[in-house]
Amino acid sequence: MAEIAQGQGRAKGKNTRSRTSTKIDMTPMVDLAFLLITFFMLTTTFNKPQTMEISMPDKSDKKVEQFVPESRTITFILGKNDQVYWYAGDNTPGAKVQQVEMRSTAAIRKVILENTKQVLEKTNKDMIVIIKALDNSKYQNLVDILDEMHITNQSMYAIVNIYEADKELLANNFPNSL
Amino acid sequence: MPKVKVARKSVSLDMTAMCDMAFLLLTFFMLTTKFKPEEPIVVDTPSSVSEIKLPDTDVALISIGKDGRVFFGLEEQGTKLKMLEEMEKKYQVTFTDNEKNEFKLLPTFGTPIGGLKQILNMGTSERAKVNQPGIPCDSTNNELKDWLIFARAHNARPLKVAIKGDKDSNYEVVKRVIATLQEQNANRFNFVTNMEAKPSSLPK
């Protein structure tokens, strides 16, 4: 920074104009600059939303509709008021349907893990999870159950449209569920 | 004994260099920051443990509101212009150059094609107040499908489809949107969610 020597002019007595220093105190400017930097730094990094990747089967490809062995499947039906109904195996009228509350993730996790273990012991293969949702269930529940699949490391799961047989099964077991 | 003379130094230091650097960083952050675009619909997304980030560009964002209204958003301006021109042909509506320019700058919209003209002719503040009815996407009238087809056809790079649904939206609407995507073989898509901590251990 340019420094100007002061006082020499005065010594001669001719130049009496007082010279002020050209040095300015830059502290407030730097303070402000750093404040703004902090603001912009914080707003940029926390902006990106998270996503969950979903792959659905190809509808036009008929081969995809494969046979799923009932001994390896567990079906979750998402209902209204955060209720989840589940049964293992087939949706024949005698199937044992049970109810869990979606909010208690621990209970659902337990169901998934216990069934995974049973299927693994019986068939030596991974469990297949089928997720069906009623029209009046909430989107939040769908994301939550997909999240559980993530957490419990399920390798095979699918979102499937609900069948009439499932609705009948629900109506028989839990009259208030539909 | 001679007196020890301590050299007096000025306490004010030269801050020019620090100031230069601070402003350089400030300029960088100001230019790279992208502010959140104004959204005509409030969407409260559910949270998940997923850690995949949504890319910045080439994303078609379908927002689903609490009340089941569907909105469509896209950043790429060139693609949007072509999309609008295709829609003009298909639905027999014409837009002026001014309206097309407005459309290019509009980040998200949610009206049937018939009401789009009215929305485009509004000022920004006026538009924020209007309650847009949402894009029709049922089996009889599926405009969302057309917007998506044209967007995917005209984007220079492959377009990612992201669904940003509200926590409390009914699955019925989500199902319709997913079915619309599946119809045109867009079988891979993303759900936009908030961050949530992953549980550290699993019960045995």
- The answer, yes or no, to whether residue A12 has pLDDT greater than 60, is no
Residue B60 in contact with partner chain A when CB distance is under 8 A: no
Interface of B with A in 78-137 (CB under 8 A): none
Spatial distance between the Cα atoms of A28 and A2, rounded to a whole number of angstroms: 20
Interface of B with A in 30-49 (CB under 8 A): 30, 32-36, 45-49
Spell out the residues 6+ positions from residue A102 whose beta carbon is closer than 8 angstroms to its own.
A78, A82, A83, A84, A108, A141, A144, A145
Check CB contact under 8 Å for A37 and B29.
yes
C-beta separation of A96 from A44 below 8 A:
no
pLDDT tens track for A69-119: 777 888 888 888 888 888 887 777 667 777 777 777 778 888 888 888 888
Question: Which residues of A are less than 8 Å from B191 in CB distance?
Answer: 51-52, 54, 143, 146
The confidence score (pLDDT) of residue A10 equals 46
Question: Which residues of B are less than 8 Å from A82 in CB distance?
Answer: none
pLDDT tens track for B57-112: 788 888 888 888 888 888 888 888 888 888 888 888 888 888 888 888 888 888 88
Spell out the residues 6+ positions from residue B96 whose beta carbon is closer than 8 angstroms to its own.
none
**Which amino acid makes up residue A25?**
D
Structural domain contains residue A49: no
Spell out the residues 6+ positions from residue A120 whose beta carbon is closer than 8 angstroms to its own.
A126, A127
Point out the residue among A34, A51, A78 whose CB comes nearest to the CB of B50.
A51
B187 → chain A, closest CA residue: A56
pLDDT tens track for A145-161: 888 888 888 888 888 88
B19 → chain A, closest CA residue: A30
Structural domain contains residue A64: no
Token pair, residue B26, equals 């400030």
Question: Which residues of B are less than 8 Å from A112 in CB distance?
Answer: none
A36 or A2, higher pLDDT: A36
Beta-bridge mates of residue A98: A86
Point out the residue among A34, A52, A58 whose CB comes nearest to the CB of B22.
A34
Structural domain contains residue A164: yes
Structural domain contains residue A90: yes
Structural domain contains residue A56: no
DSSP per position, B1-15: -PPPPPPP--S----
DSSP per position, A94-163: T---EEEETT-HHHHHHHHHHHHHHHHHHHSS--EEEEEE-TTSBHHHHHHHHHHHHHTT-SEEEEEPPP
Q: What is the CATH number of the domain that holds A117?
A: 3.30.420.40
Structural domain contains residue A97: yes
Structural domain contains residue A120: yes
Query: What are φ and ψ of residue A165, in 5° steps?
Result: -60, -35
Structural domain contains residue A24: no
The confidence score (pLDDT) of residue B49 equals 82
Confidence label for A1 from pLDDT (cuts 50, 70 and 90): very low
Answer yes or no: pTM beyond 0.80. no
- The answer, yes or no, to whether residue A2 has pLDDT greater than 60, is no
Establish whether this prediction's ipTM goes over 0.95. no
The confidence score (pLDDT) of residue B189 equals 85
| pLDDT < 50 positions in chain B | none
Question: Which residues of A are less than 8 Å from B60 in CB distance?
Answer: none
Check CB contact under 8 Å for A50 and B199.
no
Domain range for A121? 69-173
Interface contacts (A, B; CB < 8 Å): 162
Q: How many domains does chain A have?
A: 1
Q: Beta strand A98-101 with A83-88: parallel, antiparallel or unpaired?
A: antiparallel
Question: Which residues of B are less than 8 Å from A106 in CB distance?
Answer: 203
The confidence score (pLDDT) of residue A15 equals 57
Check CB contact under 8 Å for A161 and B175.
yes
